[in-house]
Every structure is written in C-alpha cells, then in structure tokens.
A and B are shown apart, each in its own frame.
Chain A
C-alpha cells in the first residue's frame, strides 16, 4: 500500500480527533448529549442533514449508476429535494418545536402512550441494525476490492472511531464532525473532478465519445416520470426517517430547521453533480468495467494520482462515518432514553437520573455499534439492496405516525401503534430477502414493499384513529 494513503487517512483521523476535542463539552444531561442543548445553527445543521443522507451508497452505487446509465439519473435529485421540501414545510419546524429528545419520545408524547414509545424505539433499533451492517459492509468491500485486505480492518477502523467520537461528545461533537466530513467529501470530489475531466480529454470530447457509445448516455436512460417518482419515494423516506429527523431537535429553532434543509440541498447539489461527472468520465476512460459498482474503486486507485485517490478514499470514509454516527445516536437513544429511561426504569423502580441515563446512552452507542458487525461479516446481501430494504421498513413504519401525527389532530395512540405494526408486518411479508414475496400471487408480488407498507400503514392509522376517536367520544357522551 502506498504511504500517501496512510498519511492522508491518519491526518483525517487526527483532524476528527481535534474537532472532537475542541467541540467537546461535558455532557451532563441527556438534553446536551442527544440534542446539543438545541444550539446548532443552519450551516452545521444543513451539513449534518446532508452528511447523514450521503452514504457509501452515493459514492459507490450512485457513481456506478451514472457510469452505467449516463446523465439522466441526475434528475432523480429533484424528486429527492421535493421530499426535503415537504419535510421543511410540514415536518421539520413542528418537530423542532415539539421539544422532544428522540423520535420515540415525540411519538410517546404526541400520543400520550408508553406502548407507542417502546414499540417505535424497538422498531428503530431493528431497522437501523440492518442499515448499519450495510454501511460497514460497503466500507469493507471498497477496501477488499482495492487493497486486497480483509474487510474486518476497515470495518473496525470505522466502528471504533465512529463509536468513540459519538459516545464521547454525543450530537454536538457529531454535528461538528459532520461539517468536517461534508467538507472532506467536497474536497475529495473537487480534486477528483478536474483531474478526471482532464484524463477523459475534456468535457466536450468526453460528451462526444459517450454520445457515440450510446446516445442515451448523454440524453436520458429513464423517463422523467420514472426518475422523479424514484427520487420522490426515496426523498420522502429519507427526509422523514428518524436518523434525519432527530437532527432537527438539535437546531436552535423552527426557522433554523427550514434554512438547514436549504443548506443541505445545496451540499447535496454539489456532491450529486460531482458524482455524476465522475461516473461519466469513468465511462469514457474505462468503458467496459464488468460491474458499475467497480467504477469508484477503479477511479480512486487506478486513475487518480495517489494524493487525489487518498482524498477520495477519505471522502468515502466520511460518507460512511457520518451516516453511522447518526444511526448510532438514534438507535442507542431509543434503547437508553425510551425503552429503559421512560419505561423499564420507572416501572421497576430502577435508577434513571440524568447522569445515569447519559452513561447508559453511551453504553447503548457501543452496543448498537457492535451488533451489526456480525451481520456485516456474514454478508447476507449486496449493500445497495440492504440499504433499500432498511429504508422501506423505516418508511412503512414511521411515515404515517410521524407525518400525519404532526399534521392531523384526530390521530390516536391506537392508530399510531396499528400503523407502525401493520407497516412493519406488511413490509416483512412483501420483502424479498426476509419475507414471503415469492409465495404471493405475481400481480401482488411485483408491487414494491415500501409502497404497500406506506399505504397499508396509513390506512390502518386513519381507520383505527377514527374508530378509537369515535369510541372515546361515545364513552364521554355516555358518561356525561
């Protein structure tokens, strides 16, 4: 392995440690640990939202997608940003103002139900264990493909450093490091883009070559409708998923939350367009790779000079770590704050003062970080597929309870519980790797599990809410 890589990676880890050290304050309360005492501004907040969303999937999967299908896929970002706009309009400000600490905390308070709180916390831990294992696996794959190293090394590197800074500084340190990581991603891409355009013989020559290779590469491979629908579905599920939503709690006020979404879209635009150009230029330089997912690794280690390649590698690390850190906080706090602190401890009379709960949040971060390592080492599925599966579960379980719950007064606890559980069950049944998709009749099996999940959970949510609300009125009337 070239020394440049090692020096750049060590410098990056040192920069992270410096940021963690400077930003560190003693987290004496859960409010500080989980929400940075609600002090984050729009720029750091926006960088956090973007860094959490941009994951290994973007640097490997999306780059490969552009390599394979050309320019057109870039338009899917508009669907994604449409999802973010809806989040800024209907979800983020209200959630920021709710004063909760975690998503299950919001659900528990909104519906005044401990059961809804505990169920949502457990579902979050389930879905995010899967998502975390995909992130570890992606990092391991990049290393195995390029250095021939066993994937356990990069997995452990990411696991140990991410768990460490997350457990030491909580959301405050995590947010500052997200900013650093967003800048690292932009730097890696900013160095790579001009070098690759140069290698490909300039933008115009590259465009002409691609047009000759296949005219769809410079036009559109997918129809506009397909792209926007895909982007919107993904955008809605990501912008309403707990690991993004929890970040709004750390922002100063509702105004900051709105601006932060705008800042995040700006960062996504920079990263997304750079990824597109890299994918296109790779197609010009190596038109016949066996798998599009190889494009980013081949670029980093065969096309770019060592320093630029190392910066790109750090950008991938940043993408993985920032996503992992947000997941660790959300899943860990679900166990420590919601399952233990607000259910088990008061019920059984165990200790649950603020100091102890902060400690428990830290322990939970370690536990939740270690759990998926086993899954990642056993490699059940390809990375992009696992990420999608987890996203489908999350959308099906939480969309109705959170989004409609924020905007509809008639929602009840029973409706929320019914919505979450039916979303989970239906997605499980429909899921190809986990469930019984192959035993369903073909016309049902071909519908996407997230679509079925969101629709069924929303229907159950509304129906049960109406029924229970009516019954309450009736009880009230009969008492009166």
Chain B
C-alpha cells in the first residue's frame, strides 16, 4: 500500500497552476488599456 497518490499531491500542483494562470489573466485584463 503506497498511501497518498496523484489525487492528493496533484491537487496542490494544479491549484498552484490555477492561481498563477488566474493572476496572469487578471494582470493582463487590468493593464491592457
């Protein structure tokens, strides 16, 4: 039995990716004009 797998560790990676993408999008929207 190996314990926690992709669904545990993957969440943190995916959430970090989501936050970075959201921030870039918000920055782009806010600064484009």
Kindly state whether residue A85 has any CB partner on chain B within 8 Å: yes
Say whether chain B's binding surface is mostly helix, strand, loop, or mixed.
helix
Given contacts A88-B26, A261-B26, A262-B23, contact A207 B4 (CB under 8 A): yes
Chain A residues at the B interface, C-beta cutoff of 8 Å: 71-72, 74-75, 77-78, 81, 85, 88, 203-208, 210-212, 218-220, 255, 258-259, 261-262, 265-266, 269, 273, 276
- Contacts of B5 on A, CB cut-off 8 Å? 218-219
The distance from the CB of B27 to the nearest CB of chain A, in whole angstroms, is 8
* Complexed CA–CA distance, A354 and B11 (Å): 49
Instruction: Check B1 against A74 for contact (C-beta < 8 Å).
Output: no
Number of A-B contacts (CB under 8 A): 69
Say whether chain A's binding surface is mostly helix, strand, loop, or mixed.
helix
B6-24 Cβ-contact flags toward A at 8 Å (1 or 0): 0110011011001100110
Instruction: Check B19 against A71 for contact (C-beta < 8 Å).
Output: no
The distance from the CB of A221 to the nearest CB of chain B, in whole angstroms, is 10
Instruction: Check A75 against B1 for contact (C-beta < 8 Å).
Output: no
- Contacts of B30 on A, CB cut-off 8 Å? 255, 258-259
| Contact for B3 among A85, A211, A259, A276, CB less than 8 A | A211
Chain A residue nearest to B8 (CB atoms) is: A71
| Contact for B22 among A77, A206, A220, A262, CB less than 8 A | A262
Instruction: Check B7 against A72 for contact (C-beta < 8 Å).
Output: yes
Given contacts A78-B18, A208-B1, A269-B19, contact A71 B7 (CB under 8 A): yes
* Complexed CA–CA distance, A211 and B2 (Å): 7
Instruction: Check B1 against A262 for contact (C-beta < 8 Å).
Output: no
* Complexed CA–CA distance, A259 and B24 (Å): 10
| Contact for B15 among A88, A212, A255, A269, CB less than 8 A | A269
Instruction: Check A77 against B15 for contact (C-beta < 8 Å).
Output: yes
Q: What are 22 A-B interface contacts by the 8 Å CB criterion?
A: A71-B7, A72-B7, A74-B7, A75-B7, A78-B14, A78-B15, A81-B22, A203-B3, A206-B3, A207-B2, A208-B3, A211-B1, A211-B2, A218-B3, A218-B5, A218-B7, A218-B8, A219-B7, A220-B7, A258-B29, A259-B30, A262-B23
The distance from the CB of A245 to the nearest CB of chain B, in whole angstroms, is 18
The distance from the CB of B19 to the nearest CB of chain A, in whole angstroms, is 6
* Complexed CA–CA distance, A169 and B19 (Å): 33
- Contacts of A203 on B, CB cut-off 8 Å? 3-4
Instruction: Check A207 against B8 for contact (C-beta < 8 Å).
Output: yes
The distance from the CB of A293 to the nearest CB of chain B, in whole angstroms, is 23
